[in-house]
Chains A and B, each alone.
Chain A
Amino acid sequence: MSAPTAIEAATLRSDRFRLAREGDWRRLETIVGCMESGRLRKLSDDDVLALPALYRTAASSLAVARETSLDAGTIAWLEALVRRAWFQVYGPRQGFARWFGGFVGGGLSKAVRAIWLDVVIAFAVMAAGVLTGWLLVAQDPEWYFSLVPSQLTETRVPGASREVLLKSLGTEDSAGGLTGFAAFLFQNNAGVSILAFALGFAFGIPTLLLLLKEMASLGAMLWLFSSQGLGLEFAAWISVHGTTELLAILLAGAAGLHVGRAMAFPGERAILTATAEAGRRAATVMAGVVLMLVLAALLEAFARQLVGGTADRLLIGGTMLAIWLAYFFAFRRDPEGRVS
């Protein structure tokens, strides 16, 4: 049927209103449908240019229809259409590549600097954890078995001889079997980090407990090795990947704490707003944490098991630490000043 006759035929003014604009609405629906299913190539330049105007037309049609029409079916459809168009017009502008570019090129370090207070707190808690582990085991070596997870102990137990302990810090002859090990380590550590972040939702307290526990086992192992005069060797052994990994866990804990703190002390803002702002900032940090853990696992599996010298190991670990600190705190590029 041709539009003018149909419009004349409609007995209701509100239906005439609808029929006169239906063509534009349908066009908007087609454009939005194409965008939703990712078939952007099917859209002509005209369509793309027309989208904002069509969206505004539909939005004002909706406002008019709400006041003049009692056709519930049409209003519901128009409402859904305007909503869908709104999601496209005001949707995320950047694809993954753009986001990742901004993330690596300044977004991550900016987010880390934004949660500096939480980083300091998490660091203090981790240091306290190492100290606690050390002191507990120094008093009673039995603590060692409850602090250090059993799959890590193997030959590294109190009472083991110096030679056995030194051997456990040794290298592998070839790289065989190490990639698999790296993948496993990454998955494990990423799990712990995500947990540390997620637990921040409970006002951050479980996050701190988790950090304390993880670090206590480090302190216990540190005591074990230094009791046999291998403190420096152990520190070198762990620093190869540890500077990256511990930093990642530190950041994950700080991210969790940041969310927890925002919930406990939202200040002037509404608690939901405060939490959401903190959550988004912390999520950026968490994406960085996962990347750092990939790197840490590779370092742990290859560099640590293949590089044997204490000095070499310390050099690798120290360099990594320096690179990270420089990246987070000295690299102050703002990705296009975009609002995150």
Chain B
Amino acid sequence: MSSTVMAYDAKRRREVVTPEGVPLTFVVATRGARFGAFLLDYLFLMVGTIAVTLGLAALAGGFSAMEQVEKTGAGEFLMVAFTLFWFLAWNGYFMAFELGPRGATPGKRIAGIRVAARGEMRLTAEAVIARNLLRDIELFLPLILLMVAPTGEAGSAGWAGVLWFLVFMLFPFFNRDALRAGDVVAGTWVVEAPKVRLPDTLSTEGGARGASGVTGATYRFGAAELAVYGEHELQTLERVLRDDRAEALAAVHEAICRKIGWNPGAGDERAFLEAYYAQLRARLEGGMRFGKRKADKFSA
């Protein structure tokens, strides 16, 4: 899946050299994914806390009974449990999940992203605490001010406050790593952690190995016919083969045939493309071993 994304996310890729000396690529999560994860998390929190509140109210005998119950010992205990629960839930939810081995809240997991320490540091408890303590000024204060300012209650000071806090709220849009204020203070960032499945090897299948299963024909391409394309086209072809959609296969088949001057037939597109893919890759990888790379069809 991420192979399809690879081409478009060049701007968001960051290399970090691990202690083993292997450059590891991190992909900074998009602001959209983060906002989606955030909305999901707040949805979970809302539903969860309201459910518990209703449960506690039911224990106390309904909201109407709360007034009298509050004065009894048990009622008071419920009130305390309720107050502390809200505080813990709203402040602890993000910290508890981000400290876990996945480094992600449920919303982040669904969005395929996680929190990590910038650079090659470890993600520590302090960092997670710091990045979550700043949530208040990044979100709640601006939202409250945004609601208050238009009423004119706070006058021009209200608008000044809005501007001031919008700086925090819009902070992620003004730096290339999409850091929010909490990330800056904690030294963290949010990166993609997609669920990827290992795809099958394409060179062991069908037409790549020899004769086509449909027609029995064996496709062989000459050097000139393979020289027209580069790595970019190879990866496009890989994507098409892995997606395996008939119309895409047919379109690519026709395009390649036109380019290399073959007569496009019909019915055996997949075997043809598999064979072309395997032979083009063999040629390009052979070149690679000798330090010769061909980025795309335009390069020599």
A residues within 8 Å of B by Cβ?
Answer: 6, 9-15, 18-19, 22, 25-26, 29, 35-38, 56, 59-60, 62-63, 67-77, 79-84, 86-88, 90-94, 96, 99, 176-177, 179-180, 182-184, 186-187, 190-191, 194-195, 197-199, 201-202, 259, 272-273, 275-284, 286-287, 340
Contacts and interface: CB of A to CB of B under 8 A. Distances in A.
Interface stretch (B16-24, B28-36, B261-269): B16-24
Contacts of A11: 203-204, 208-209, 278, 282
Contacts of A194: 91, 133, 136
Interface string B76-93: 110110011011000100
B282 A56 contact: no
Interface string B25-55: 1100000000000000000000000000000
B282 to A, nearest CB: 6
B24 A83 contact: yes
Q: Which applies to chain B's interface (DSSP): helix, strand, loop or mixed? A: helix
A38 B3 contact: no
A282 B130 contact: yes
30 contacts: A10-B201, A11-B204, A15-B201, A19-B204, A22-B198, A26-B198, A59-B18, A70-B234, A71-B238, A77-B2, A80-B193, A83-B24, A88-B101, A90-B120, A90-B122, A91-B101, A91-B122, A92-B125, A93-B122, A94-B125, A96-B99, A176-B71, A180-B79, A194-B91, A195-B141, A197-B133, A201-B137, A276-B184, A280-B187, A282-B130
A190 B127 contact: no
B196 A76 contact: yes
B2 A76 contact: yes
Interface of B: 2-3, 6, 18-20, 22-26, 70-71, 73, 76-77, 79-80, 83-84, 86-87, 91, 99-103, 114, 116, 118, 120, 122-127, 129-130, 133-138, 141, 164, 168, 181, 184-188, 193-194, 196-199, 201-204, 208-209, 231, 234-235, 238-239, 242, 278, 281-282, 284-285, 288-289
A199 B202 CA distance: 55
A259 B194 CA distance: 33
B187 A286 contact: no
B18 A36 contact: no
Contact of B124 (A18, A177, A201, A340): A340
- Residue with the greatest number of chain A CB neighbours at <10 A, chosen from B22, B24, B71, B289: B22
B99 A92 contact: yes
Nearest to B235: A72
Contacts of A87: 101, 103, 114, 116
A186 B77 CA distance: 15
Contacts of B126: 280-281, 283-284, 340
B187 A272 contact: yes
Select the residue from A63, A79, A279 with max chain B CB neighbours within 10 A: A279
B288 A68 contact: yes
Given A59-B22, A180-B80, A12 B181 contact: no
Contacts of A80: 2, 193-194, 196
B26 A15 contact: no
A281 to B, nearest CB: 7
Nearest to A40: B101
Contacts of B209: 9, 11
Nearest to B101: A36
B204 A10 contact: yes
Given A59-B18, A76-B6, A280 B127 contact: yes
A277 B123 contact: no
B87 A187 contact: yes
A286 B133 contact: yes
Contacts of A287: 129
Given A68-B289, A77-B2, 4 more contacts: A70-B235, A70-B284, A92-B124, A272-B187
Contacts of B234: 70
A214 to B, nearest CB: 16
A269 to B, nearest CB: 12
Nearest to B194: A80
B24 A38 contact: no
B242 A73 contact: yes
Contacts of B99: 92, 96
A38 B101 contact: yes
Contacts of A279: 127, 130, 184-187
Contacts of A68: 285, 288-289
Contact of B133 (A13, A79, A179, A198): A198
Contact of A275 (B6, B120, B185): B185
Contact of B102 (A36, A190, A191): A36
A6 B204 contact: yes
B105 to A, nearest CB: 14
B3 A72 contact: yes
